[in-house]
């Protein structure tokens, strides 16, 4: 091979690598439907404004629908040389309808085009994730309805603290998912503005009507400053943050499911469908599914930090760096979509071991605080005095190898001189269920309050 042949090959290879490096079509093809929708709206507006003839507009619309068909049926051939989804669609359109296709890009730049496509995608996904969250909240509510009297140790520092009911614990998560829903909702509202018509960065001399495209695409109104509109990716950062926060909640309940399904706890058993076996230890049933939910949370944080970092040093307006905004968002969206689906099923199908939860409540003197509270309320004792008396009762229980809720009235009276005549109703106060129900303050764990919380959530869901 001659030297010049060699150089030619090197040049070709370099060009190819460069094209591959520069191109986004292999991932931004995800935006094909938004791109086509945006182009239909844009060409419709150009026609309304007398910039495009009716024949050209009709040809463009029909051609775009054909391109859409080809993509959806798998006939469309995506090529690196088209660089991105916008060029790929336009060049195929021009192939199909001829010169009219070349008029589509009048008064538009890929900068406002990509900002519009991506925003449409984020908006659509915010709506569908909201729907999924509603389903998850619904599932937490329906499982809760069966467990408003099921005792479970309420913990702080992962140590037994006070008896609560299992529904109350699940409803804590339902409330987190409710806030997540509201975050997607407020982001949607804040970002529902159309960048289309911003053109490259400074607007356009053509007599366009941005209200028209904004309306056609379901936006509230056009964005105000073209320069901001082509370089802003706050909307993408918001969905990444909203997904990360939701996944953090998914991860926390998953962590609890892993703990609760351990031999030491045995509070819940994953349904067989959602547990896996070990390839070497035949006796094992592993909580791979909640573990994976917990693990997948990591990549959603990564995607958020990654885009924040891409954006931090960018001068106005558009810079190619922004092309790096998409893959992380696609990945986070896919991650949360599958995770919420799986979490929903896991919660729906888990087996709750009521007896084990109840047994666990008898460890750790969960109702000890109730004795102190009783002495304060009924005997007007200073809390600190009551606290020390209660310590003696706990010591008595320990010496008898019992839980405080299992002591007889005599055993209680013998624990400390100051309560030798205590009313025998105290036994009832130390009962675990009464202890749970005693916490009847608004937002508390009593069955009554828990039922109220279910009603509040149900009412909220009704209006969503």
Residue placing its CB nearer to ligand ARG in the complex, 242 or 322: 322
Residue placing its CB nearer to ligand ARG in the complex, 255 or 327: 327
User: How many other C-beta atoms are found inside a 10 Å radius of the C-beta of residue 65?
Assistant: 12
Q: How far apart are CA 173 and CA 157, in angstroms?
A: 18
- Letter string b/e over residues 200-221, b meaning 16 or more CB atoms within 10 A of that residue's CB: bbebbeeebebebbbbbbebee
* Least gap, CB of 86 to ligand ARG (angstroms): 6
* Least gap, CB of 111 to ligand ARG (angstroms): 5
User: How far is the first Cα of the chain from the last one, in angstroms, to the nearest whole number?
Assistant: 71
Give, to the nearest 10 degrees, the angle between helix 110-145 and helix 234-260.
30
Which of 207, 149, 145, 140 has its CA nearest to residue 175?
140
User: How many other C-beta atoms are found inside a 10 Å radius of the C-beta of residue 82?
Assistant: 20
* Least gap, CB of 76 to ligand ARG (angstroms): 17
Q: How far apart are CA 52 and CA 462, in angstroms?
A: 46
* Least gap, CB of 197 to ligand ARG (angstroms): 16
User: How many other C-beta atoms are found inside a 10 Å radius of the C-beta of residue 284?
Assistant: 11
Give the total residue count for the chain: 464
Residue placing its CB nearer to ligand ARG in the complex, 213 or 251: 213
Residue placing its CB nearer to ligand ARG in the complex, 114 or 170: 114
Residue placing its CB nearer to ligand ARG in the complex, 217 or 253: 217
Catalytic residue from among 2, 73, 157, 279:
157
Catalytic residue from among 278, 351, 399, 408:
278
CB 393 within 8 A of CB 371: yes
Task: Look up 278 and say whether it is catalytic.
Answer: yes
* Least gap, CB of 318 to ligand ARG (angstroms): 6
Q: Which residues of this protein are in contact with ligand ARG, per CB under 6 A?
A: 24, 28, 84, 110-111, 114, 318, 320, 322-323
Q: How far apart are CA 208 and CA 44, in angstroms?
A: 11
* Least gap, CB of 96 to ligand ARG (angstroms): 22
* Least gap, CB of 113 to ligand ARG (angstroms): 7
Provide the token pair at 132: 């999924």
Residue placing its CB nearer to ligand ARG in the complex, 84 or 403: 84
* Least gap, CB of 156 to ligand ARG (angstroms): 48
* Least gap, CB of 266 to ligand ARG (angstroms): 51
Residue placing its CB nearer to ligand ARG in the complex, 233 or 439: 233
Task: Look up 157 and say whether it is catalytic.
Answer: yes
Residue placing its CB nearer to ligand ARG in the complex, 109 or 245: 109
The set of catalytic residues is 157, 278
């Amino acid at each position: 091979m001659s030297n010049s042949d060699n150089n030619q090959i090197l040049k070709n290879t370099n060009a190819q690598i460069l094209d591959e490096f520069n191109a986004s079509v292999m991932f931004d093809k995800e935006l094909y439907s938004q791109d086509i929708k945006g182009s239909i709206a844009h060409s419709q507006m150009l026609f309304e404004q007398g910039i495009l003839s009716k024949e050209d507009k009709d040809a463009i619309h029909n051609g775009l629908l054909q391109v859409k068909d080809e993509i959806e049926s798998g006939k469309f051939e995506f090529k690196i040389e088209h660089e991105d989804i916008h060029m790929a669609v336009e060049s195929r359109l021009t192939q199909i309808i001829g010169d009219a296709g070349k008029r589509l890009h009048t008064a538009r730049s890929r900068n406002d085009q990509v900002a519009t496509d991506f925003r449409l995608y984020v908006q659509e996904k915010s709506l569908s994730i909201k729907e999924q969250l509603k389903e998850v909240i619904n599932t937490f509510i329906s499982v809760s309805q069966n467990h408003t009297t099921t005792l479970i140790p309420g913990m702080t520092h992962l140590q037994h603290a006070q008896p609560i009911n299992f529904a109350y614990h699940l409803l804590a998560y339902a409330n987190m998912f409710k806030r997540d829903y509201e975050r997607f909702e407020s982001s949607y509202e804040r970002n529902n503005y159309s960048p289309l018509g911003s053109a490259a960065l400074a607007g356009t001399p053509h007599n366009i009507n941005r209200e028209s495209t904004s309306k056609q695409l379901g936006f509230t109104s056009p964005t105000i400053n073209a320069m901001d509109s082509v370089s802003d990716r706050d909307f993408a950062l918001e969905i990444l943050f909203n997904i990360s926060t939701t996944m953090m909640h998914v991860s926390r309940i998953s962590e609890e499911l892993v703990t609760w399904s351990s031999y030491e706890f045995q509070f819940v058993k994953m349904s067989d469908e959602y547990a896996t076996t070990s390839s070497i230890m035949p006796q094992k049933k592993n909580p791979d599914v909640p573990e994976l939910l917990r693990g997948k949370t990591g990549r959603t944080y990564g995607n958020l930090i990654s885009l924040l970092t891409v954006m931090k040093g960018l001068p106005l307006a558009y810079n190619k760096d922004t092309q790096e905004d998409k893959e992380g968002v696609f990945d986070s969206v896919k991650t949360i979509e599958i995770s919420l689906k799986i979490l929903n099923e896991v919660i729906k199908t888990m087996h709750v071991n009521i007896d084990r939860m109840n047994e666990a409540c008898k460890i750790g003197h969960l109702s000890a605080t109730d004795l102190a509270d009783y002495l304060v309320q009924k005997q007007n004792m200073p809390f600190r005095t009551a606290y020390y008396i209660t310590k003696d009762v706990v010591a008595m229980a320990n010496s008898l190898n019992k839980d405080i809720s299992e002591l007889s009235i005599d055993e209680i009276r013998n624990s400390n001189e100051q309560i030798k005549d205590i009313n025998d109703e105290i036994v009832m106060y130390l009962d675990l269920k009464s202890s749970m129900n005693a916490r009847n303050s608004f937002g508390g764990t009593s069955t009554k309050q828990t039922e109220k919380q279910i009603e509040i959530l149900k009412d909220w869901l009704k209006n969503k």
